[in-house]
Structure 1
Amino acid sequence: MKTYEIILKPLSGFGTPLKGDTLFGHICWQAAYDSSLFDAPLDTLLSGYASSPFLVISSAYPVHRDNGRTTRVFKRPDMPLSYLFDLKGPNKKEIIKERKILKAKRWMVLSGADRIETFENVCFESDQDLFKRFMDVSDQHLQKEYGKKVVTAVTKKFTQPHNTINRLTGTTGEGGFAPFTVEQEAFFPNVELSIFAGISKNIQIEQVRKALSRMGTTGFGKDASTGLGKFSVTDVSEISLAKLGSEKPNACYTLSPSVPEKEAFRQIYFAPFTRFGRHGDTLAKSANPFKNPVIMADEGAVLVSERMNEILEHPYIGTGISNISKAEPKTVMQGYSLYIPVKVEV
């Protein structure tokens, strides 16, 4: 399996987070309707999915490219702060104060040829620090346009109010006509996103790029029909994720939500993420459009193993998930994740 880095340019806000399992589902729907996309019907692509995935796609992360230098930004690993920072102070009060500052540093930054040798040697930054790193002269002019609403982050989540008008009264009302809000995520202008894709020898990266380009044109996720979820694909390049990590790893840092294999890891640090899946397309109108909930380890998990030589034979970890739908028994879900090999002291 080869791995690639795909650069996306957001063109609107997003109603659904760009997580790997959701991106995989959108691509599968395209393959279901257009068998020429991957030169094979979807059933053929998924025939060996439980043991050999044809595609593994990561969640999206901010990336900054300037004069040939690439700065990649990842989620801070879901580990105790004491494993990532040196928590020492003259007294308990100072340690608590330091913890509050460190908790705000939720981004892990790799600049240029930097590698994650150990997490203790990696640069962690807060929203404000990352914004200063990404902002250039042109962005300062954009900042002035916001007036008193000073922007201090490259990404912002907010609730967008909506109204449903009762055409009989010409106003909002109760029940289905009550005002409601929808959570959205927007990115500061000029911010790009990076996703990583692992593809089998049976498909080509240009086919994946075509699928993502279609997705960006029509809209990804919730409220795509109202203009959300738009993006363009600006660049694709092959990458070795191993070169971003340690040369002597004993753990995996995951890049998308995953369901790790049983007995493959002796210690797992993760934030639980429950996917309450729902069918799309025509199945959204079926008698039971909801999938069974799946508890996953969110991206940023650190999985420690004593079998790293065996794990390093593949650029992904995890399992293919099935038996999650009563409306469509063939439904699968991406429980795989690409990873960066890292070394942790545990």
Structure 2
Amino acid sequence: NGFPDDLLPRPILPQVPLDSKAELAQQKEQLKRQKDAKKVTYLNHEEFDRVLRGGIIYPSSKAEVRRRVTLKNQINRITNTTSAGEGTLYSFEEYHCDAITIYTKIADGFKDTAQELFKHLTKAGYGKRKSVGYGWLEMLDFEPFSGFASPADANAFVSLSNFVPAEGDPVQGYWKVLIKYGKLGEEYASSANPFKKPLLMFAAGSVFRDFPVHDYYGRLVAGLSPSHQEAVQYGFALPVPMKLAGE
């Protein structure tokens, strides 16, 4: 996944129990901090590394994402024009941030190819609305990363990408589920049925127990397009080893 600025997804973890021995005012303050922290979906590197080591934090990092609502007209796919009836005007949310950080794990000898693939994205655009001007990006840098501060006694992982679990992947953990409504791109976008079947995925930030932590989890998903069986969906997790607090 791409993350705004230089932030990382907040690992999905259970709420820390209130300290029953603390004064009532302290409990109220802890409850307020927990409530405020729920609104934060991203962490900076220092906060993320502390969570990896089993630390408890009350994050405060906010992504600089600009949002606006604009009006769009619905296009009839048969006539390729707006419909004559009413109710075709709808509101659409647009998001923009100045920088996106993407972490990748690249095999030896594949760096140049990976860099060329990212350059291709800057020319073609990215996402289902790239044909109408969305998904434009520019590659500012492509640099090595020394890794996260994962502990040696890691007993779980947090995923940096949405993924679809493979048979045998761990099932105990804390997660968020999303439904991806995919659509074929490029020359397939104009086919009779460019839409993929809905796909259930674990969201980035999902946490699962496992020891030892593997290099990857998830799988490549086939059979999502009724008309193009060769189309597949990337469903692998990019795992970062972590220590679950209190375990």
Return the offset for 1:192: 2.3
Letter of the structure 1 residue corresponding to residue 12 of structure 2 = D
Kindly indicate whether residue 59 of structure 2 is the aligned counterpart of residue 124 of structure 1: yes
TM superposition score normalised by structure 1:
0.59
Q: Which runs of 5+ in 2 are unaligned?
A: 76-81
* Percent of matched pairs sharing the same residue: 24
Return the offset for 1:215: 1.5
Kindly indicate whether residue 184 of structure 2 is the aligned counterpart of residue 279 of structure 1: yes
Return the offset for 1:319: 1.5
Partner of residue 69, structure 1: none
Kindly indicate whether residue 139 of structure 2 is the aligned counterpart of residue 233 of structure 1: yes
Larger fraction in helix: 1
TM superposition score normalised by structure 2:
0.80
Larger fraction in strand: 1
Return the offset for 1:323: 1.9
Partner of residue 199, structure 2: 294
Q: Cα RMSD between the aligned structures?
A: 3.1
Q: Distance in 2 between matches of 1:225 and 1:266?
A: 38
Residue 176 to residue 279, structure 1, CA distance change in 2 (3 Å): farther
Q: Give runs of aligned pairs for residues 1-346 of structure 1, distance below 5 A.
A: 59-63=1-5, 72-82=6-16, 87-88=18-19, 90-91=23-24, 94=28, 96-111=31-46, 116-121=51-56, 124-127=59-62, 154-163=64-73, 174-175=84-85, 178-187=88-97, 191-201=98-108, 204-241=110-147, 243-305=148-210, 307-308=211-212, 311-312=213-214, 314=215, 316-345=216-245
Q: Distance in 1 between matches of 2:68 and 2:183?
A: 23
Return the offset for 1:255: 0.5
Structure scoring higher RCO (CA < 8 A, sep ≥ 6) equals 1
Contact 1:108 1:123 (8 Å CA) reproduced: no
**CA offsets 1:163-187 (integer angstroms, 9 cap, x no match):** 579xxxxxx8853883222222111
Return the offset for 1:257: 0.5
DSSP 3-state at the match of 2:138: strand
Q: Distance in 2 between matches of 1:227 and 1:287?
A: 23
Letter of the structure 1 residue corresponding to residue 228 of structure 2 = E
Residue 227 to residue 179, structure 1, CA distance change in 2 (3 Å): same
Residue 173 to residue 113, structure 1, CA distance change in 2 (3 Å): closer
